Amino acid sequence: MAQQGSNNNDAFLGSAMQFMQAGQNVAQQFMEFFGKAGNPTMTQPPVADPQAMTELQKRFTDQQMSLWQSVLAKQQGQPENFKVAPEAGDRRFSAPEWRDSPIYDYLHQAYLLNTKFLKEMVEIIPATDDKARHRMRFLARQMTDAMAPSNFAATNPEFIQRALETKGQSITDGINNLIKDFEKGRISMTDESVFEVGKNIATSEGAVVFENDVMQLIQYAPLTPKVCTRPLLVVPPCINKFYIMDLQPDNSLIRFMVEQGNTVFLISWRNPQEALGHLTWDDYLENGPIASLKVIKEITKVKQVNALGFCVGGTILTSALAVLKARGEDSVASLTLLTTLLDFSDTGEIGLFIDDNGLMARESSIGKGGLLPARDLATTFSFLRANDLVWNYVTGNYLKGQKPQAFDLLYWNSDSTNLPGPFACWYMRNLYHDNSLRVPGKLEMCGTKVDLGSLQMPVYLLATREDHIVPWQSAYQSTRILGGNVRFVLGASGHIAGVINPASKNKRSYWVNDDVKIDAEGWLTAAEEKKGSWWNDWAVWLKPLSGEQRAPRKPGSAKYKPIEPAPGRYVKERAV
């Protein structure tokens, strides 16, 4: 028996050494790949510092040996003296099956060690600039995420355990899930049969009071005995559907706005098909915020409204206001921007997808007409958080044969939109690539040069601390661009959860600091943390800018009669 145990240990040691060597070999091959990614203009990528690389390889080898000895000791009933833990929030290996077997216990920890080795290797490979360095990090993360043992049937003990428990039914279910998703052309993230727009999501009462080829304008019904005389226009992003702001009554930002006594109007962008593939950035400005402001002022009989933009909706709204300012119009009394970029110096990982070669290819294919498909956009955003939004569902849907749970936010996330090619190319070229919007007079929109510094209204800027789409430090730069008094607030969490943080649930926190003359990090160091949602802070800020109280009126007017109930038909159009 002792001889048999020794043979098993020797075999285990041999497997461990082979796995360690494989990790080193793969890493060596990746060095050249990452070197090219970090130095794309060079025919021969520079070599990493030999001493740093030698030290890294020695440390990696020593840690792999320590890991093998620790797992072997655990198998023999002795305490573990070395353990590799996942990063915070990584739940891929949380199931007990990954630790019950020494093989899988070693396998997943060795993978984590290999991942750490690759990340450290990327840091010592020379790069031409910061963007190249970020590109290398991004590629390393994509590769290591894809190679995780949890993604493959042969190396995932949860797959094996579930197959045994279900007598193989989970394998059949997984194959059927895969076939269905192939037919849909995307990974299922939620049980889509549970939700219906206008029935159990996007249910705030109101009516479409105006429409054109680009958008429908919704006016929501009042929920208070009195309403403010100055209405509020909401401009959501056109890259996704607006109902992220109106999912369920208890987490609806739109409903909260109405409950504060605001007469709320909202732009519901059209999901363009081929016939609208000619639309430009100027078309979205003229037929979106500019047209909406004209209609709202006529319906409510006011000279100025308050306006709020979310993400790219905020960029569109601010651009439209700069156009109106150049025309001599001051239609907006206050401006709220939620997770919005005006200065595109640092665009986070989204910017890694936008380079000159890629842009020229897009411009030649769809720049004069055509669509940027919703599927391309959805895939790009999903791979920014691949473990949560891609591989999590690969293992759950296909390996374990599970049906995704019903989750309204993920239903919204799967309801993607196309973008007109000319609009998308202009946006990527002039804003993401050239960063021209921040420069006074550099860009011409709707036939006039624009200057965001000419906008003198009070501004409420919200950024979120963990935003991977709009880095909060970049959003903070808007304090240097806009001409009016600015209140900057930093919310907890990310791009969506940080914004859609209902006041009634009193979760998370936000940071405030009236001094926006200092730099971003200095602002945060001196900021005061407040518990709960930023919604209440914003409502207090907006109240004195909203005018007197009056009796509410039904949506529309004699000129702008209601066309159909909210949420309207545009938001129900799905991308082909």
Strands 305-310 and 332-338: parallel
Residue 126, class by beta-carbon neighbours within 10 Å (0-12 exposed, 13-18 middle, 19+ buried)?
A: middle
Other Cβ atoms within 10 Å of 223 Cβ, number: 18
**Cis amide linkage into residue 567, ω under 30° from 0:** yes
Residue 331 forms beta bridges with which residues? none
Secondary structure, 3-state, 431-472: HHHCCCCCCCCCCEECCEECCHHHCCCCEEEEEECCCCCCCH
Determine whether 311 is an active site residue.
yes
DSSP string, 530-544: EES-HHHHHHHHHGG
- Catalytic hit among 238, 311, 425, 446: 311
Query: By C-alpha distance, which of 188, 45, 30 is closest to 115?
Result: 30
CA 241 – CA 333 distance, rounded (Å): 26
Other Cβ atoms within 10 Å of 197 Cβ, number: 21
Secondary structure, 3-state, 360-397: HHHHHHHCCCCEECHHHHHHHHHHCCHHHHHHHHHHHH
Interhelix angle for 130-146 vs 2-38, to 10°? 150
| Whether the Cβ atoms of residue 276 and residue 558 lie closer than 8 Å to each other | no
Collapse the DSSP code of 28 into the 3-class scheme (helix H, G, I; strand E, B; otherwise coil) and give the result: helix
| Whether the Cβ atoms of residue 556 and residue 219 lie closer than 8 Å to each other | yes
Assigned token pair, 274: 């081929």
Other Cβ atoms within 10 Å of 71 Cβ, number: 22
Residues with catalytic roles: 311
